[in-house]
Amino acid sequence: MTSFAWDTLDDRAVAMTRALAADAVQKVGNGHPGTAMSLAPCAYLIFQKHLRHDPSDPNWRGRDRFVLSVGHSSLTLYLQLFLSGYPLSLDDLKSFRTAHSQTPAHPEFGHTQGVETTTGPLGQGIANAVGFAMAAKYQSATINSEKFADLIDPTIYCLAGDGCLQEGVSAEASSLAGHLKLDNLILIYDDNKISIDGATKLSFSESVSDRYKSYGWNVIEVPKKSDGDLDVNSLDSAIAQAKKRNGKPTLIRMETTIAWPAPNAQNTEKAHGSALGEAEVAATKEILGLNPNEHFQIDQDALDKARQVANRGAEMHQTWNQRLDLWKSQEPESFAMFDHFSSSLDLEKVLATLPTWELGKKVATRKASGAVLNALVPTTQLLLGGSADLSESNGTLISKAGSFSSENYAGRNVHFGIREHAMGAILNGLALFGLRPYGGTFLVFSDYMRGAVRLSALMNLPVTYVWTHDSIGLGEDGPTHQPIEHLSALRLIPNFAIIRPADANETVAAWYETLRRGCPSGLALSRQDLPVVVEAKTALSGVSKGAYLIQSVANPKIVLLATGSEVSMALEACAELAKLKIEANVVSMPCTSWFDEQPEQYRQQILPFGVPVIAIEAGATALWYKYVGSSGCVIGIDQFGASAAPDVLAEDLGFTVDAIIKAAKELA
C-alpha cells in the first residue's frame, strides 16, 4: 500500500470499468457516463492501492472513508464496490437506475453496502467529509492513546467535481476544514472543465488552487497526460504525499478529460448526462481493446486481481483486531473510551441527569435547552456540537468543555462560524461517524441549511437541530428574523420531527425523546421567557406521543390546540372561557409527526370527533387545517412581521387571548 505498483492487469481492469460505465448508462438510456469513465483510474487507484477497507465488512471501524461528493457519477463508486468484492453483482450494474435496484442514480447510505453517505446535491459530500474528519480527530483526541492511535486514525478521501466546488456549501466547509487543520482529509478535485451547459469557463474562471491555499490547505496539482487521460502515477504520488499528514487538509487538483477515450463524446457536455449511443460505445471499446459487440464484458483475469483487495483488507482487519485485543489488555481505560464510541446512549443515565422546573417559573425554552445540554454532555462523549456563531443565543455553549480546535480536538464546543449550510452537512458527517451531534442557529436561518436537513431525514441520522427565536416573540429584530412559514415548511420534510415545546419541562422531554428515538429532529425554541405549565413527568409522557391533554373536562365544547409559546395563551383563554360557561380542553402538540404515529383511538381521545378545534400557533396556518377540519379554525400568522416590541406586534397581528376567546365563542 506504500509503493506504487501498476501493471497490465490494472490497465485492463480500468478499461473494463470504463466500458461497464458506458454500458450501464446505455442500457437504461440515461445517466452520467462521462465522469465515471474519466474517473475510473482514479477510483481504482484509491480502492486498490490506498484505501484501508474490508469488503467483507463494510462497517469495519478501522476503515478509511471514501465519499463521492460528485454523486451523479455514482457508477464511479458502484464499479469499485463491484471490483473489490462488496455485495454488489454484475446484475446490479445492469439494473442501474431502475426500480428496487442496489444501484440507484445517486449513492444512498443504508441502501447499498459500501456507500458511506447519501450524495446528490453537489457539495454536500465535501461537507460530510469534513464532518468525518472532525469526528475522527475528536474521537482520537478524546481516547488519547498514543500507542494505539493508528487504530482510530482513518484517512478521509473525498472525490468532487466542478459543480461541488461551485456550490457555496463546499466553500463554507472547506474554509472551516482549513481553519481546523484537518490533515486527515484528502479532497480530490476532478477538474474536467465541463458541466451540463458546456465548458465551465462560461461561469467559472477562478483559481481553485489559490482559493484553497487561502483556506489554509496544502494543494497538489496533477496535470493530465498528453493524450488527455489521467496521470495515475502522478496521482499516486500526490495521494502518498497527502497521507503524510503535514498539519493541513490536502486538495489534489486532478485534470481529466470527461468520457475519455470516447472518440467523439470526450470533452463534450453531452457526455456529462446522456448515454453515449451504441456506435460511440462500440468505438470506445475498440480503443480500449475490448470486444465492441459484447455488453458488460468481464475480463476475468483483471477482475480476479482486483478482488485480491478483499484479501488485503481481511489481513489488515485481522491485524487490527489483534492490536485491538492488545490495547484492551494494556490500556483498559483508553480502550473503554474507544468502546464507548461504538455504544448506544445510556438512557437511564440520561433520564436521571435531566433537570426539571417547578410550575409557574418563567424560563425561555432556549435557556432550558442549554441547561439540558450542559447536564447531558458530561454523561456521554457521543454528544458533540455547537452553533453558527450564536452559541450564547442558542444555548449550545457547554461550560468548562473547551472549544473544538486544532489545538484541542477533544473540545466539546464546535464553532462553525456563520456557515449554517455547512454546519448542517457537517453534522450529518459527524452522525455518520457514530456521534450524536447537534447544531444551533435562529429558526429563520433553517432555510440556509435546508438541503442538509433534508439529507439528515433521508439518511435517518440522529442529528438534532437547535433552532431558537422561533416566532414573532423575538420582537424588535423584525421580519427578516421572524420565522413565519418555517415550522410548516420543515414539517413537510418526511421522516423529520419538528418539536416546539411549550415550556422548560417540555423542552427536557423533547431532548430526551429525540435522543431515545435517535431520529433527525429540530427543536423550535423561544427567545422569550415562558411560564412552566406542565409537570416534568407529564411532559415526558405527553411529548413522546406528540400531543396530549394539558387541561381537560368531561364534556368539552371546544378544543384549544397549541404549540410552544401559544400553549400558555391557550390556558389563559381556557380560564376565561370557563367564566363564560364554555368548557374547553387544552392540547399541547409539540410534535405533529409523533402525534400522527399514534393509534387512532388515542388521536380521537385528544381531538374528539364532533368537538370544534381551534389551532393556535405563531406561524403559517395552512397545515393546521388537517387537525381542525371544516368545523374549526386556525389562529396564526400568514404575513410577515415587523420590527416592534413582542406584545405590540402580537396585538397588531391579532395574536392575543382575546382573539382566542372570540373564536371560541363563535364556534362553541
Q: Which three cell numbers stand for residue 374?
A: 450542559
Report phi then psi at 422, rounded to 5: -65, -35
CA distance 590 to 502: 7
What secondary structure letter does DSSP report for 127? H
CA-nearest of 290, 373, 395 to 19 is 290
Q: Strands of 464-468's sheet, edge to edge?
A: 413-415, 383-387, 436-442, 464-468, 521-525, 497-499
Q: Are strands 198-199 and 218-222 parallel, antiparallel or unpaired?
A: unpaired
Q: Is 239 exposed, middle or buried (0-12, 13-18, 19+ CB in 10 A)?
A: buried
SS3 149: helix
Unique residue bearing C-alpha cell 392540547 = 587
CA distance 623 to 492: 9
3-state SS, 329-347, equals HHCHHHHHHHHHCCCCCCH
3-state SS, 485-548, equals CHHHHHHCCCCCEEECCCCHHHHHHHHHHHHHHCCCEEEEECCCEEECCCCHHHHHHHHHCCCE
User: Out of 116, 420, 513, 617, which one is annotated catalytic?
Assistant: 420
Unique residue bearing C-alpha cell 487507484 = 45
Q: Strands of 633-635's sheet, edge to edge?
A: 548-551, 584-588, 558-562, 613-616, 633-635
CA distance 171 to 162: 12
Instruction: For residue 501, say if its preceding peptide bond is cis, omega within 30 degrees of 0.
Output: no
3-state SS, 432-468, equals HCCCEEEEEEEHHHHHHHHHHHHHHHHHCCCCEEEEE
User: In this structure, are residues 219 and 246 in contact, taking their beta carbons and an 8 Å threshold?
Assistant: no
Question: Is 420 part of the annotated catalytic residue set?
Answer: yes
Q: List active site positions.
A: 420
